[in-house]
Structure 1
Amino acid sequence: MLSDALKQQIQGAYRQFLDSKSLRPRLGQRLMIAHIARVLGGIKRNQDHKRSGGDHLCVVEAGTGTGKTLAYALAAIPIARECDKTLVIATATVALQEQILQRDLPDILQHSGLSFTLSLSKGRRRYLCLSKLDQILSGGDAATLPLYPDERSAAPDNSALALYTRFADTLASGQWDGDRDNWDSVLPEEQWQRVTTDHAQCSGRRCSHVKQCSFFKARESMAQAEVVVANHDLVLADLALGGGAILPPPEECIYIFDEAHHLPDKVINHFSANFRLGASERWLEQAERSIAPILAIPAMQKSLRGQFDSLLNLLVAAREALNPLRPILVELLEGAVERQGNKQLRFEEGRVPERLAERARELRVAFAALVQHCEAMSDTLQDGLDKGTLEQRRDELEQWLGDVSAMRFRCQNMLALWQSYASDSRTEKPPIARWLILVDAGQGLKDMELNSSPILAAKTLQSSLWSRCYGAVLTSATLTALGSFKRFSMRAGLYEDASFEVVPSPFNHADAGQLHVPAMNCDAGDAQAHTDALIEMLPQLLDKAAGSLVLFASRKQLNAVYEGVPLSLRSLILAQGELPKHDILRQHRERLDAGKGSVIFGLASFAEGVDLPGKYCSHVVIAKIPFAVPEDPVEEALAEWISANNGNPFMEITVPDAAVRLIQASGRLLRSESDRGKISILDRRIVTRQYGRKMLDSMPPYQQVIE
């Protein structure tokens, strides 16, 4: 139960913030604060501050303009402090992460009267690795085993060496902290990758550079913080490592997942596995070659030499075990279909052909032996560094530990794929999606890739996060579909006793916006007729002196309409694909600031996360109901499973997903309470089909004009 003292602290912070900034309270914001405080404050805990009962998952849909960050921060920060928990705020996008860290939370600190310490959490890849920098500048870089084939090309050129020397100088003078984002210019990806690392290759506290390590300095700063800003991927990476490896353990955290509608897909991507045959063969060959010079060192302890010798034999055995795989995959691809330019074969119900499953069982044994041996070698090398049990030089031991750890990580990834393909799919509920695809490997070459992925994030989130965390808030502007949380709850694996709430938007949609469905003499299902209709209608629909956003469901139609409209309109259009997204948005704003008209032609990436307030977007045109392209093997496997259980995939997946995308697209119109404008949907199925009517009913309450 929320104590009176906490209640007064939260209410007082809200009043002080509003008074300090001369703002009026918003109903949706007040309701959101109250709902979060009620759920998090009602969590039962024992004397050790561990959760012992009560609802601990809070789901809030709050539209644009509610002020979600202020609401969840004011409600959760005092409760997290009272419970001695770390508040982890995780976003799906870098843009929102930067906004929260650089603008929203400092603003709350300044105006609310709350006092809290704040830190940003990033992965190792955002920080310089001093060990790698030292190896490059001393000429030892070539001896380090790359984690993936072709990861390292030729030796760094003079330009790269000059950059690395600057890195060393600015670090030594204290002018730079080793954070990529704090460097004074944009760093080329290839040059940065040489001097950064990840958990697989990092020797951690055993590294001789650990006291000066940028990543560990940041970790120590984070450990002292009461509020940590991260992203979804970092939280999931921490969970994949068991929790508590990057962030505090889930049991010691209250999580805020902003943009939470992305979380289920993030989980599916994060916990999938894949294996590229050609790339893996090349990597194994590289790994074998990297061991040969180590075995040539004359002064090496017999036991350690024996371990390296065994490692070499296991690598050779694993590579040779792959040889029979190639003809199997080639034969299977003969029955594949062409999808988006590449051949693809999905295994129905996740059932792998027996000859492939048999090979997977053998490869599972080979790669399990490799992983086990690498783990034993890592222990030996760690003891050598910690206890001095090995006579080798410390720099040699550190490099070998990094290389062996990298081998273990890569082999674990391969093993995960073979474990999936060797398992009995009949026992899986829901099934795992498995497929084979021919992919581009660069330089005009193709590679065969095997994939495995969960079709729902529910089990992973339940076991790794929801059952462990002290509490969590999930919030977004689009969590419901067709007026229900059912779709999101199924995908995210939320407990039945999670607390759900929709808070009202601050926008008066009926006065601010009009939803227009014009008359059309074609069905959007007829692609050519629909495209012809768009070419004819858009010149009359669009105000050539205003800012408009036209959203398409396919690049093919976007290009066809762009080529088909009159030149007088085409000259105003900034089309996705012609320019980078940030350049399109910049040029669009510049045109309107100069008093000219501008029209953006965009795809799905412009339907979410694009902020064009006021004059920059007074008309949103949605060319077609944004149904997903039915070519994704994970979505296909999910639909197959729902059908097998007497469900209707179209009504249970396709329509709710499209309804959410439709709301997200329409959300580009009103970005502030003063915005005004119109939304046009050029797809008559929104009124002629029963599912379309359901979508229309779930839209915000704009004034509807249906011809």
Structure 2
Amino acid sequence: MKAQWQALIQQAYRDFLAGRGAKARRGQAHMIADIAKSFAAIKEDEEGKRTSQQQLIAIEAGTGTGKTLAYLLATLPIAQAREKKLVLATATIALQEQLLLRDLPDLAKLTNLTFSYALAKGRGRYVCTAQLIKALDKSQPEEDATLDLFQAELVKQASGSGQDQLEKLAENLSSGAWDGDRDSLKENLPNEVWERLTTDHQRCTNRRCPHFTGACPFFNARRAMEQSDIIVANHDLVLADLALGGGVILPSPEQTYYVFDEAHHLPDKAINHFAASFRFNTALSWLRLLKKFQPEVLKKLGASSPSAARLLNQLVAPLEILERDLGALYGQLYEQVEHLPRDSRPAVHRWPNGVLPPNLLAFSEALVIHFATLCRVLESLVNLLKEAQDPEKNSSLDADLAGEWQPLLAVLHTRAQSAHQLWMLCAQQDPPNQAPLARWLVRHSLNEGDEDLELCASPVTAAGDLAYRLWSRCFGATLTSATLTALGKFDRLKQRAGLSADAVCKTYPSPFNYPELGVFEVPKQACDPSQAEAHTDAILDYMQEYLDHPEASALVLFSSRRQMNEVYDGLASQLRKITLTQDMLSKNRLIEKHRQRIDEEKPSIIFGLASLAEGIDMPGKYLTHVVIVRLPFSTPDDPVDATLAEWIEASGGNPFMQISVPDASIRLVQACGRLIRTEQDIGRVTLLDRRILTKRYGSQLLNSLPPFRRELH
């Protein structure tokens, strides 16, 4: 590492600690050094392109290590010196807010580092000025009845009762009181209203829009982001950018150093991002709508543009074929789910090993071609309408007319692309000796007895996509979290995230003295959850004995919403009065209400599901007891997990020991991590699942937990 980089980082660290009146933490200092050395060792050519292969480092840093400061100090000075962008990607809004509102301002205030930062968001989080003006414009002399009818049927429109609200938004936007960001609105705006006011990359006319230069909130934010040293994003936005080719929403990966905080979420985020689905009746509805209005659209747009007329005529054949084939396929697929029970849950049929029956495979191959044709024609139409709005282009189409129709046809193009993606995943052959795609069918019960079928396809691992789209391209990356290892090893992370076998991986334990601060217990009430009724009774018995007291401040974590509600219904009246469930309030309001009760010196208990097992911070008196009702194994009926398990078993492996146990280990550590958040916290973690003492995998799970003092009965 260059001496000036090292000196700059060390001085900044000393300044920060002095400003906080704090002492250096051993794990934090080691983490700074390891990340900085890893980043500095990356070699580049004269054009700034990476030439070395060892560009990644994964670091598990226990709670209290101070990993945020560590990766900021280790990466920022070198990124600036090398003229690279630094993208900080988180999995949760809470961590984004912490970075923007606390960590980055503190770093600027307490050190001699000079830097700028911005929050990156997708286009859909910003108002489109053109759309807002259009929504407000009541004075158009000639309304297009065809467009209005088509749009009203295709896109749910809000009622006119929101007109005053729209006028207020426009006034605040023009005066500068509002920056156009949905998240900065003081009042909640319903989704159906917001959808009228925003846009996407297909509908946006970019430089052709009269508001592009200074009145577009998205591009104003984009320009600010392009000038920033640090860009705060989330995992989904990084993945969306990569799916578009990289460098479209965020800076080019080749010129970017990424830090993925909460990196244990990245593989699952990637799997969800590269999955696709298709609802038959929903798709048939908009396809029939396009077919119905095609003659009228042809009259409107084709009259003055031979190119538009030619393209609109090309829609007829694929629309007729798609309507016919999808209708026939719906009837065949319905037989797969017709016999499944009808209850509150959607009915699911999964094809073993993701292998589709021959008739569905043949349909898929044909539908790929027809949706590809539809995509091509709609894309050409959208581009033609965008061109017509460009004053520098000599188009026979009226610019105002093109501007009216372009957003609607862009919506149809986006839907056609989504459908094409699903049928591509259904039609493709899974490569031999590689994990297959999961493919399954869902029957949804709608209002008034209506039903719809949804065909889904998903990779069972994101390793290949992440390795190809991200790790092979990025200038460098750090993955960090309090839980990257499973059962003490990085093997599961490497497998899921596509890291190479020789990727650098480090672990820094928490500085907390866990044996003095907390107890991990398996009490006498604990039993095997497979005995569902007995297990629910055991939870109720434990709560009555140990949580019915004036100082109760507890979080009870369930794996099943049904059991959570059963236990709540079975509580004695006094306990029910002090218990809040996740079904009652939003996550933030739930925690706020709980804190309020504790501040008033009243008892409070939260019943929560998996989303409360991580990412919430309730230090000190706000949480002194965490109860985990059962080991957090994934649900056995998840189509993606089931297909992956089949493949591992067919390959001679043990899916339970290779996937279920390691993943449960990570979730269990995360749940236990809710208890001790500072060096002053004390409390107890209770597990009401006796399998951790009776099953052969139990000792592995126990050994992966923080070193609490143990009370095992």
Query: Which category of TM-score, normalised to the shorter sequence, fits these structures?
Result: over 0.9
1:44-68 Cα deviation digits (max 9, x unpaired): 1111111101411111111222222
Cα distance in 2, alignment partners of residues 64 and 477 from structure 1: 6
1:192 maps to a residue whose letter is W
Matches within 5 A, 1:145-544: 152-154=155-157, 156-157=159-160, 159-211=161-213, 212-297=215-300, 299-334=303-338, 341-386=345-390, 387-425=392-430, 427=432, 429-442=434-447, 444-520=449-525, 522-542=527-547, 544=549
Q: Secondary structure at the match of 2:538?
A: helix
Gap regions ≥5 residues in structure 2: none
**Pairing of 1:662-673 with structure 2 (within 5 A):** 662-673=668-679
| More displaced stretch, 133-142 vs 505-514 | 133-142
Query: Which residue is equivalent to 1:40?
Result: 39
SS at match of 2:314: helix
Tell whether the 8 Å contact from 1:149 to 1:286 is kept in structure 2 after alignment: no
Q: Which amino acid aligns with 1:281?
A: L
Q: 1:391 to 1:650 in 2, by over 3 A?
A: same
The letter of the residue matching 2:189 is L
- Partner amino acid for 1:233? D
| 8 Å Cα contact 1:145-1:403 kept in structure 2 | no
> SS of the residue aligned with 1:556?
helix
Q: Which amino acid aligns with 1:661?
A: R
Match of 1:10 in 2: 9
Q: Give the distance between the partners of 2:293 and 2:468, measured in 1 at CA.
A: 39
Q: Distance in 1 between matches of 2:242 and 2:148?
A: 27
Q: What CA distance in whole angstroms lies between the structure 2 residues aligned with 1:148 and 1:457?
A: 37
Aligned with 1:451: secondary structure? Answer: strand
Shift of 1:624: 1.2
Could you tell me how far apart the structure 2 residues matched to 1:147 and 1:337 are? 37
Do 2:124 and 2:200's aligned partners in 1 also have CA atoms closer than 8 Å? yes
CA separation of 1:497/1:274 partners in 2, compared to 1, >3 Å: closer, same or farther?
Answer: same
Cα displacement (A) at 1:703: 1.0
Structure 1 counterpart SS, 2:519: strand
Q: 1:336 to 1:426 in 2, by over 3 A?
A: farther
Q: 1:50-199 maps to which residues of 2 (within 5 A)?
A: 50-139=49-138, 152-154=155-157, 156-157=159-160, 159-199=161-201
Separation (CA, whole Å) in 2 of partners of 1:144 and 1:243: 35
* Bigger shift: residues 643-652 or 557-566: 557-566
TM-score normalised by length of structure 1: 0.95
Identify if the C-alpha distance between structure 1 residues 638 and 605 changes in structure 2 by more than 3 Å, giving closer, same or farther: same
Q: How far apart are residue 219 of structure 1 and its match?
A: 0.8
User: How far apart are the structure 2 equivalents of 1:681 and 1:462?
Assistant: 37
Shift in Å, 1:599:
1.5
The DSSP-based 3-state class of the residue aligned with 2:197 is coil
Contact 2:525/2:539 (8 A) holds in 1: no
Deviations 1:640-696 (A, max 9, x none): 111010111111111111111111111110011110111111212111212111100
Give 1:206's aligned amino acid.
R
Inter-CA distance 141–603: structure 2 relative to 1 (3 Å threshold): farther
Q: Which residue of 2 aligns with 1:19?
A: 18
Q: CA deviation at 1:566?
A: 2.7
Are residues 500 and 146 of structure 1, via their aligned partners in 2, closer, same or farther at CA, if it must alter by over 3 Å? Answer: farther
TM-score by length of 2: 0.95
Q: Distance in 1 between matches of 2:439 and 2:476?
A: 34
Query: Match of 1:250, as an amino acid?
Result: P
CA distance 1:586–1:303, shift in 2 (3 Å): closer
- CA 1:245/1:143 → structure 2, altered by over 3 Å: closer, same or farther? farther
Comparing 212-221 with 374-383, which one deviates more in the overlay?
Answer: 374-383
Q: How far has the Cα of 1:607 moved from its partner? A: 1.0
Q: Distance in 1 between matches of 2:185 and 2:126?
A: 11
Partners of 1:254 and 1:471 within 8 A in 2: yes
- Give the CA deviation at 1:307: 1.8
Contact residue 527 and residue 691 of structure 2 kept, 8 A:
no
> Which amino acid letter does the alignment assign opposite residue 416 of structure 1?
Q
Counterpart residue number, 1:620: 626
Query: Deviation per CA, 1:280-312, whole angstroms, max 9, x where unpaired?
Result: 011112333454433223841223222222234
Contact 1:27 1:504 in 2 (8 A): no
Cα deviation, residue 17, structure 1 = 0.5
SS in 1 for 2:51: strand
Displacement of 1:383 in angstroms is: 4.1
- Count of aligned residue pairs for this structure pair: 705
Identity of aligned residues (%): 45
**More displaced 10-residue stretch of structure 1: 129-138 or 235-244:** 129-138
Q: Where in structure 2 are the equivalents of 1:552-571 lying within 5 Å?
A: 552-571=558-577
Q: Is contact 1:146-1:152 (8 Å) kept?
A: no
- Write the distance in 1 (CA, Å) between the matches of 2:98 and 2:526: 45
Provide the secondary structure at the position in 1 that maps to 2:632. Answer: coil
- How many Å apart are 1:141 and its aligned residue? 9.4
* Structure 2 residue matching 1:489: 3-state secondary structure: helix
Contact kept? 2:56, 2:477, Cα under 8 Å: yes
Name which of 689, 700, 708 aligns with 1:694.
700
**C-alpha distance in structure 1 between counterparts of 2:92 and 2:144, whole Å:** 34
In 2, Cα distance between the equivalents of 1:241 and 1:521? 50
Q: Secondary structure at the match of 1:326?
A: helix
Indicate how the Cα distance of structure 1 residues 426 and 179 shifts in structure 2: closer, same or farther if over 3 A, else same: closer
- Distance in 2 separating the partners of 1:521 and 1:381: 66
Paired residue type of 1:135? K
Equivalent position SS for 1:64: coil
Distance verdict in 2 for CA 1:484–1:339, change over 3 Å: farther
- After superposition, the Cα gap between the structure-2 partners of 1:381 and 1:149, relative to the gap in structure 1 and judged at 3 Å, is closer
Compare 439-448 and 677-686 and name the one that shifted more.
439-448
Distance in 2 separating the partners of 1:148 and 1:172: 27
CA separation in 1, counterparts of 2:47 and 2:425? 39
- Match for 1:203: what amino acid? T
Alpha-carbon contact 1:147-1:407 (below 8 Å) kept: no
| C-alpha distance 302-579 of structure 1, shift in aligned 2 (>3 A) | closer
Letter in 1 for 2:242: L
2:149 and 2:434 mapped to 1: Cα distance?
A: 38
CA contact (8 A) 2:62 2:510 kept: yes
CA displacement at 1:495 relative to structure 2:
1.5
Deviation of residue 146 (structure 1)? 11
Compared with structure 1, are the counterparts of its residues 303 and 593 closer, same or farther at alpha carbon in structure 2 (3 Å cutoff)? closer
Q: CA RMSD in A?
A: 2.2
C-alpha distance in 2, partners of 1:587/1:636?
Answer: 38
- Counterpart Cα distance in 1 of 2:73 and 2:146: 52
Structure 1 residues 594, 146: CA separation in 2 closer, same or farther (over 3 Å shift)?
farther
